[in-house]
Amino acid sequence: MLKKSLAASVAVLGMAGMALPAHAEVSIMYADWLSSLVEPGIADFEAATGETVNAIKLPGEGYVERVALDLAAGTAADVIQLDSFVVSELASAGYLMPLGEMGSGWDQYQHYMPALLDVVAYDGEVYALPTDTDVRMLWYDKSVFEAAGIEMPWEPQSWDDVLETARTIKAETGIDNAFLLPAGTKQGEAATMQGFYMALLGADTPEDDRNRLRNWAEGKWIGDSPAIRRTLELYHDVYAEDELATASINYATDIGAAVREAMANDQIGILASGSWEFTCLWDCNGGPALPSADERNALIGWTPWPGSGLPDTKATTNISGGWAIGVNENAQDPELAFQLLTTIFDAGNFGDWTVENRRMAVRTDIAESEAYASDPYLAEATQLAADTTGRDTYPGYQVVSALVQQMTADILDGVSVEDAISEYHASLVDEFGEENVITYE
């Protein structure tokens, strides 16, 4: 059984009453799970400058929405943690400060991998520095697999292999969540990234973006396609046809805590998630209760997401995202804010955090360090990044992602695949205009 730290189940703090005091010289807003990177950087910055940082730590639940609201209201901090998928929209709205000019004068800027800076760029300008990137895979509970008589290491070659394994788990163990595929609006971006898009990429050929949400050559959102239909049919198989997972876990008050508690109690067989789980299944900040890597490997395993198995589709799929930290366009003192940013990302603090928390490196100096390269998990998981892609981070993506989440929620609610896609297509047309929506036969 997975032994889970109580730190992962700390009650969510309220978000009211956190207005910034007028006297603050420099302020930063970040999610609680990033404390182990941000807070040592704050301490180093205060020691070096004599300035006091107004640190605003918020719960991870609803964090992205809170940042967008504060930026729109003009009450956001000077330095802000961001999910990389929102950078293009926030930058296009004029909320973020471009970092290229100041970054060129920082002696560590050149170590960032260009492809990962592209993820946090808009219209040719970089607007944030990535904290990490990630890959996605299928995690599995070895105790559950042993109880179900499933051979390990598990290496499924198609969706059918995954479904057949989940059916065996359900039949042999009776657990409710044999294959937890994130779904529904409460799951937010996890439903889009960990579930829907990972399946979508393996549902049809990559040619002409037939396995994506956006056709980039034509500049249109894809409102209907065989890939979208096959992906929703997978959700239908999991939640309706075979009942391999429960809808209720996708609507838990704190989904992350609920999922990790279920894993700890051997109540999930297969979990569609990401590379962070090698730490986060116990404690995202790597607390003292974190078991050793050998102990964790004895409890859980992972395997790449297989493609659907249909002709001309990818054998395995991956999509990468990650978090970043940027500077508010309206920061009181932009140079001081940038200094706080670079202190957090100084090689010592940032490198230690990357390795200790088993995060995938975004800088060559860290990726090439002995501590990173000698870590077996990081070395193996990083190999998945050789064939990965990113989200369709174009203004409007947040709307599309929300509509994707609604499609999966519709499946949870018993809506047919046909009706869910019909509503999705209609919503895209309403939002972007018929001329900006394409259909694949």
**Distance (Å, whole) CA 421 – CA 411:** 10
CA proximity to 401, closest of 379, 428, 383: 428
Contacts of 90 (CB under 8 A, 6+ apart): 68, 71, 82, 96, 127, 326
How does pLDDT run across 249-272, given as a tens digit for each residue?
999 999 999 999 999 999 999 999
Among the ranges given (22-26, 107-111, 127-131, 264-268), the one the predictor scored with the smallest mean pLDDT: 22-26
pLDDT mean over 181-205 = 97
The CA-CA-CA angle for residues 254, 388, 219, to 5°, reads 90
| pTM, 2 dp | 0.83
pLDDT mean over 383-406 = 90
Sheet with 437-439: strands ordered across: 214-215, 220-224, 437-439
**Distance (Å, whole) CA 285 – CA 243:** 34
Per-residue pLDDT at 2: 44
Under a CB-based contact definition with an 8 Å cutoff, are residues 141 and 370 in contact?
no
pLDDT > 70 in the chain, percent: 94
pLDDT-derived band at 61 (thresholds 50, 70, 90) equals: confident
Q: How far is CA 415 from CA 149, 172, 176, 240, 409, in A?
A: 34, 29, 21, 10, 9
- Average model confidence (pLDDT) for the chain? 92
User: Does residue 93 sit in helix, strand or coil?
Assistant: coil
**Distance (Å, whole) CA 347 – CA 243:** 48
Per-residue pLDDT at 385: 84
Among the ranges given (14-23, 229-238, 340-349), the one the predictor scored with the smallest mean pLDDT: 14-23
Per-residue pLDDT at 94: 95
Give strand ranges (E) for 288-423.
300-306, 316-317, 319-320, 323-327, 389-390
Per-residue pLDDT at 25: 82
